[in-house]
C-alpha cells in the first residue's frame, strides 16, 4: 500500500483567510454595519451623546441626546461623511464590495 501524499497549496496570509471566512459565512453585512458605527464614534466625537444608530441603503441615521451637539454636527455633515468613508477605506475588516452594506452616502441626524 502506497502512502497518502498531501499536496501543498500556496501559502495564504492570515488577513486573506479572515476575509475568505467572513465572505463564506456571510458575515460581511453585519460586520460592515458595526464598522460604520465605529467610524461614527471615531470621526464624530459624539459617541457619548449617541442614543441610537441605524444604517440602511447608504443612509446612516443617528439619534443624539443633545440638541446642541446635533446642531454643531449638522453643519459638518458632508465633512463627516467624507471622513467616515475614509476611515472605512483604511479599515481592513470593512468589505468594500458588499452590495447590501457599503459606504455612507448620507448622514441623518435626529
**Of the ranges 20-34, 48-62, 64-78, which one carries the lowest mean pLDDT score?**
20-34
Does residue 9 have a pLDDT over 80? no
Across the chain, mean pLDDT equals: 89
Residue 5 banded pLDDT, cuts 50, 70, 90: low
Residue 67 banded pLDDT, cuts 50, 70, 90: very high
Does residue 4 have a pLDDT over 90? no
One DSSP character per residue, the chain reads: -PPP-PPPPPP--HHHHHHHHHHHTT-HHHHHHHHHHHHHHHHHS-GGGEEEEEEETTEEEEEES-HHHHHHHHTTHHHHHHHHHHHHHH-TTS-TT-SSS----EEEE-
Amino acid at each position: 500500500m502506497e502512502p497518502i501524499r498531501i499536496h501543498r497549496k500556496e501559502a495564504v496570509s492570515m488577513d486573506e483567510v479572515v476575509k475568505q471566512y467572513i465572505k463564506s459565512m456571510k458575515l460581511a453585512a453585519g460586520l460592515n454595519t458595526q464598522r460604520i458605527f465605529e467610524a461614527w464614534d471615531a470621526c464624530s466625537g459624539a459617541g457619548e451623546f449617541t442614543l441610537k444608530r441605524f444604517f440602511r441603503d447608504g443612509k446612516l441615521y443617528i439619534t443624539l441626546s443633545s440638541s446642541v451637539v446635533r446642531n454643531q454636527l449638522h453643519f459638518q455633515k458632508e465633512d463627516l461623511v467624507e471622513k467616515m468613508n475614509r476611515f472605512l477605506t483604511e479599515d481592513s475588516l470593512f468589505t468594500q464590495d458588499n452590495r447590501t452594506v457599503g459606504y455612507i452616502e448620507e448622514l441623518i441626524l435626529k
